[in-house]
């Protein structure tokens, strides 16, 4: 009888130890130490499957781990509200500042739960919902938490909901907001007043699918201190729109990084006032035709540009460098990245005149066929180092 009771006691103790993870090496760690370990693990979360945040995983290991995890607000800072997939917006800007990963699907309830557990810790909020998925509780959550929101991304949000979310957020101060990424569907409207109560730390802005006229007012108020800006797409087809575009860029006196994607302009640069940008050190322009690249590069004045100027096109159309002389004004450029390596070798003399102070030249070759890029590579190397010795063509 005593042996049976002893066996039952050991079995109960074993079950208790397993339930509370008492046999684990961390069982004697103080809660504060375990919390610090969880926080470190969350920052080094390298899993390919991001379906669950790190806090969700550790909170399901044992009762004690769950108690510690729920009491660690920094485990719940990645807030995701994502509904069913809808039409992809090809002009959506990359997320800032962490634009390398698209968050996975997550339920509204999970997002609300993470917000409630985050306390007053800085949070990153990502919203990608269909109109039917947006509920009043979401608007209220934005209002309640914009004060400790570090990054707000509204991607692919429908026409009516996006301005409403921004208007509700703008009714409150956003003292720690650093990054704002906005991309709507069907040219959504933009609030007439964005963060009038202040967003003093806003530095990174990415805007997609808005008209120049709708976003221009924000550049003279909420965006005045922005250092990194991404705009896509950009259509300049009349003088008034160009003037708004020019004035909104020139109002950013701290701008250091500028990306203009899917750029199209039909205006003649000879009739336009130049865009004087004294501070940018990085400029990236994406375009569909050499003429559009030519139109914008002729009017932009960037005397301090010294980092890569990327000329990108989804159609592998190479820029007509010869058309741009002598009106390109990038005297301090030191590094040029060219996406048109297959034709650039024919224009090295013109490139030398256009950018005389280049110290580094990067040429990219897009998906060459097997063995198809050898001749282009030989021409490029020959233009840089001179003719190859006889018999050493390979």
pLDDT in tens, 224-268: 999 999 998 888 888 999 999 999 999 999 999 999 988 887 788
Do 334 and 359 contact (CB within 8 A), yes or no?
yes
Question: pLDDT class for 13, splitting at 50, 70, 90?
Answer: confident
CATH code linked to domain 77-385: 3.80.10
257-265 and 228-232: which strand pairing?
parallel
- pTM of the shown model: 0.78
Q: Which residues have a Cβ under 8 Å from the Cβ of 393 and sit 6 or more positions away?
A: 378
Do 182 and 206 contact (CB within 8 A), yes or no?
yes
Distance CA 282, CA 278 (A): 12
Do 280 and 250 contact (CB within 8 A), yes or no?
no
Any idea what DSSP says for residue 112?
H
Map out the domains of the chain as residue ranges: 1-76, 77-385
pLDDT in tens, 46-75: 544 444 677 888 888 877 888 888 888 898
Using alpha carbons, list the distances in angstroms from residue 307 to 106, 206, 284, 334, 351. 38, 20, 10, 6, 16
């Amino acid at each position: 009888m005593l042996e049976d009771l002893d066996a039952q006691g050991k079995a109960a103790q074993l079950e208790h130890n397993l339930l509370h993870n008492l046999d684990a090496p961390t069982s004697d760690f103080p809660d504060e130490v375990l919390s610090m370990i969880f926080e470190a693990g969350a920052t080094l979360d390298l899993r390919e499957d991001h379906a669950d945040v790190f806090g969700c995983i550790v909170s399901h290991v044992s009762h004690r781990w769950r108690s510690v995890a729920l009491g660690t607000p920094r485990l719940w800072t990645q807030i995701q509200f994502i509904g069913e997939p809808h039409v992809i917006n090809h002009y959506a800007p990359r997320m800032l500042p962490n634009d390398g990963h698209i968050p996975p699907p997550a339920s509204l309830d999970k997002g609300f739960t993470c917000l409630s557990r985050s306390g007053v810790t800085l949070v990153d909020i990502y919203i990608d919902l269909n109109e039917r998925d947006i509920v009043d509780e979401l608007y209220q959550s934005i209002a309640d938490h914009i004060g400790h929101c570090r990054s707000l991304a509204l991607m692919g949000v429908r026409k009516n909901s996006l301005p409403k979310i921004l208007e509700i957020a703008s009714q409150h101060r956003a003292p720690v907001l650093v990054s704002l990424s906005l991309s709507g569907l069907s040219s959504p409207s933009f609030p007439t007043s964005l963060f009038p109560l202040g967003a003093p730390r806003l530095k990174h802005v990415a805007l997609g699918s808005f008209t120049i006229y709708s976003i221009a007012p924000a550049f003279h108020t909420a965006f005045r201190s922005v250092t990194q800006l991404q705009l896509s797409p950009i259509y300049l087809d009349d003088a008034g729109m160009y003037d708004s575009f020019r004035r909104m860029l020139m109002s950013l006196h701290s701008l250091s990084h500028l990306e203009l994607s899917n750029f199209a302009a039909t205006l003649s640069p000879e009739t336009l006032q130049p865009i004087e940008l004294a501070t940018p050190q990085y400029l990236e322009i994406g375009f569909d035709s050499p003429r559009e690249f030519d139109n914008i590069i002729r009017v932009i004045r960037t005397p301090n540009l010294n980092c890569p100027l990327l000329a990108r096109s989804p159609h592998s159309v190479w820029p007509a460098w010869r058309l741009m002389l002598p009106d390109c004004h990038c005297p301090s450029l030191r590094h040029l990245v060219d996406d048109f390596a297959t034709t650039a070798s024919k224009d090295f003399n013109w490139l030398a005149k256009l950018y005389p102070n280049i110290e580094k030249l990067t040429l990219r070759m897009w998906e060459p066929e097997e063995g198809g890029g050898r001749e282009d590579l030989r021409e490029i190397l020959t233009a840089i180092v001179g003719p190859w010795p006889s018999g050493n063509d390979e």
